[in-house]
Amino acid sequence: MSWSKLKQQLDSFLCPALYGRVEYRATGYRYLPDKAGLCYISVDKKNVLNMNDKTNLIKWYQTELEIKNDSDIQIPISNEEIEAARKDTQGNVPEDRLKVIVRNKKISVYAKELLSAQASLSKSNFFVVANKFLSISIEESLESHDVLLNILALVDRRVGKKRILNMTEKMKVKHPIVQYFYELRLSTL
């Protein structure tokens, strides 16, 4: 599918309050086949998400440390996860240490997801994800671990006010750019 047709279809699914504010843009280099070009999402004429930006790559370990040291990030821990950790350690670890073990494991997984999400943002990937978004249900897009699918679903007109308001807890563990678009959508309600 050509870029203009893809952009037209994505624009047709934009929430009416965000129409004209959120734009999908792409540049290509016709005579330089080795250059993939740029693809980005802009909000109010400012580039918010650049999909081929070298500065997006953050080392996994550094990201993990940032998450561990950020007191604002809340990592929910369930009783099932604590019980699983207790089984793994054969019950020889104190209760408060089990919570630390589970939290550290979840932070490590979260950091790896952040890195893979940031590393996979490129123009060709945007075309693939946008086509996938157009062919799957909105629920699948919202539940996906793919950052772009989440963003496209959040600005979609098919996601209503009630669903947006009920997603507050889920958004706390999503990628910061997904949280940005969630806040943007909340501001339109």
Over residues 18-59, the pLDDT tens digits come to 988 999 887 765 555 555 566 788 899 888 877 654 444 445
- Taking all residues of the chain, what is their mean pLDDT, rounded to a whole number? 79
Q: Which pTM was predicted?
A: 0.65
- The sign of the CA dihedral 184, 129, 158, 164 is negative
Q: Which of 47, 24, 46, 28 is nearest to 37 (CA)?
A: 28
Q: If pLDDT is split at 50, 70 and 90, which confidence band does 152 have?
A: very high
Q: Is pLDDT of 171 > 80?
A: yes
Q: Which has the higher per-residue pLDDT, 59 or 3?
A: 3
pLDDT of 9 strictly over 50: yes
Which residues fall within 8 angstroms of residue 158, CB to CB, at 6 or more apart?
A: 13, 138
Q: Coil, strand, or helix at residue 160?
A: coil
How many whole angstroms from its chain centre is CA 126? Answer: 13
Residue 108 pLDDT > 90: no
Distance CA 122, CA 102 (A): 33
Rounded to whole angstroms, the Cα distance separating 66 from 44 reads 29
